[in-house]
């Protein structure tokens, strides 16, 4: 059983303010795959909206792990990395997906259901944060 890391108020504010991060997963050959992604935080969990056919989703289904590094937009480039056990969710994902779409596009939350999202092949990549490290310049 993995222990949940406590995300400090300072780290939480930073994660809630930044729209995107770089997610790292593991390919079948064990090398790291990285891509930019929108995300939201819900307590000690990170939610990323993706498609089940995407490489990062398949990596997570196989390896059960993901890492997210979030970097601010200007010098001195505040940053933090969070990581932990990860899984792909297909049900109960409408609210989290709507929150991510608002972060991506602004406006009001779209009306979504699990069924609508299944038709779009949209899933949620969930990271249960059990380690926070590399926090720097978050007070700038």
Neighbouring C-alpha atoms within 13 Å toward the C-beta of 58 = 6
- The mark string for 8-47 relative to its own copies (x by CB under 8 A, - otherwise) is -----------xx-x-xxx---xxxxxxx-----------
Angle at 67 between CA 128 and CA 97, to 5 degrees: 60
Work out how close the CB of 33 gets to its own copies at its nearest, in angstroms, rounded to a whole number: 8
Based on CB atoms, which residue is closest to its own copies, 33 or 87? 33
Q: Does 5 bind its own copies (CB under 8 A)?
A: no
From the list 77, 95, 113, 140, which residue makes contact with its own copies (rule: CB under 8 A)? 77
Judged by CB under 8 A, the stretch of 1-9, 67-75, 93-101, 113-121 that binds its own copies is: 67-75
Whether 35 contacts 102, CB under 8 Å: no
Strand partners, 111: none
Q: How far apart are the first and last CA of the chain?
A: 36
Pairwise CA distance, residues 123 & 94, whole Å: 9
Q: Residue 107 interacts with its own copies (CB under 8 A)?
A: no
User: Cβ closer to its own copies: 17 or 77?
Assistant: 77
Please, what's the largest Cα pairwise distance for the chain?
A: 43
Among 69, 89, 112, 118, binds its own copies (CB under 8 A): 69
- Structure tokens given for 20: 């995107």
- Cis peptide bond upstream of 92, omega within 30: no
Residue ranges in contact with its own copies by CB under 8 A: 19-20, 22, 24-26, 30-36, 65, 67-69, 71, 73-75, 77, 79, 81, 83, 134, 136
């Amino acid at each position: 059983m993995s222990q949940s890391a406590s995300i400090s108020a300072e780290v939480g504010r930073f994660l809630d303010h930044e729209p995107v991060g770089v997610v790292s997963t593991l390919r079948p050959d064990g090398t790291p795959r990285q891509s930019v992604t929108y995300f939201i935080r819900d307590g000690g969990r990170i939610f990323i909206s993706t498609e089940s056919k995407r490489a990062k989703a398949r990596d997570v289904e196989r390896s059960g792990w993901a890492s997210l590094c979030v970097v601010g937009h200007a010098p001195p480039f505040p940053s933090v990395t969070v990581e932990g056990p990860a899984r792909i969710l297909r049900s109960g994902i409408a609210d989290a997906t709507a929150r991510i779409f608002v972060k991506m596009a602004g406006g009001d939350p779209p009306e979504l259901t699990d069924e609508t999202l299944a038709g779009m092949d949209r899933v949620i990549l969930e990271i249960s944060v059990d380690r926070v490290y590399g926090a720097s310049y978050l007070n700038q």
